Amino acid sequence: MALKYKLILASGSPRRVDLLNQAGIEPSRLMPMDIDETPKKSEHPRSLARRLSAEKAEAALAAIKGDITWKGSYILSADTVVAVGRRILGKAEFADEALSSLHLLSGRNHLVYTGICLVTPDRKIRQKIVETKVRFKRLSGFEIENYLASGQWRGKAGAYGIQGLAGTFVQKMVGSYTNVVGLPLYETILLLTGEGFDVHSRWPEG
């Protein structure tokens, strides 16, 4: 079946690709956007997720301007922010950053916000913010040490990925699991179908 519209994912995240694949969607193109993700002074985590997802989508739109190949495509972007209160935990690049985040998350609740931004073929912009509350068990020094040794914290907001070893740290969760992975599927599909993207025709036949 010929598909009318293409979907550009303004991300290079394998986790987001896997989640879209789970919903039967194969992005036509991956366009990770290199933008400054530094929070503004006193910026709320929710506002940061909204702003960065919009900036990624707008950057992708600018990048394909004038390219007839991608005219009329949908552009989907997302940004996930982990926060304890208003304190934003960035993507850990070094072990000491990961250690600090894990100590902060140990035995307490935190919030995960994902901003989704969709640019439609007629260039309307639609956004949605999804919030999930996660509680970590109290982590022992041994658990933290072994998790750091695994390297699974690298490049992850809050120094963890729930789909990996850190899933064993989660004592309780209220809200969307896929949101914590990096792309809330229910809300993403709702956004796409609401703007005319035919998700179900892309499902494989048995």
Per-residue pLDDT tens over the stretch 182-200: 999 999 999 999 999 988 8
Q: Structural domain tally of the chain? A: 1
Residue from 84, 79, 187, 174 nearest 133 by CA: 174
Beta-strand runs (E) in the chain = 7-9, 29-30, 74-84, 87-89, 109-119, 125-136, 170-174
Residue 55 lies in a domain: yes
- Position 5 confidence tier, pLDDT thresholds 50, 70, 90: confident
Residue 176 lies in a domain: yes
Average pLDDT over residues 132-160: 96
- Please confirm, yes or no, whether 96 is among the known catalytic residues: no
From the CB of residue 21, how many other CB atoms can be counted at a distance below 10 Å?
A: 11
In the prediction, which pLDDT does 2 show? Answer: 40
pLDDT at residue 3 tops 80 = no
Give the global pTM: 0.92
Residue 138 lies in a domain: yes
Residue 205 lies in a domain: no
Residue numbers of the domain that contains 13: 5-193
Catalytic residue among 79, 96, 122, 198: 79
CATH of the domain at 24: 3.90.950.10
Residue 20 lies in a domain: yes
CA distance linking residue 43 with residue 48, whole number of Å: 6
Residue 201 lies in a domain: no
Residue 123 lies in a domain: yes
Residue 88 lies in a domain: yes
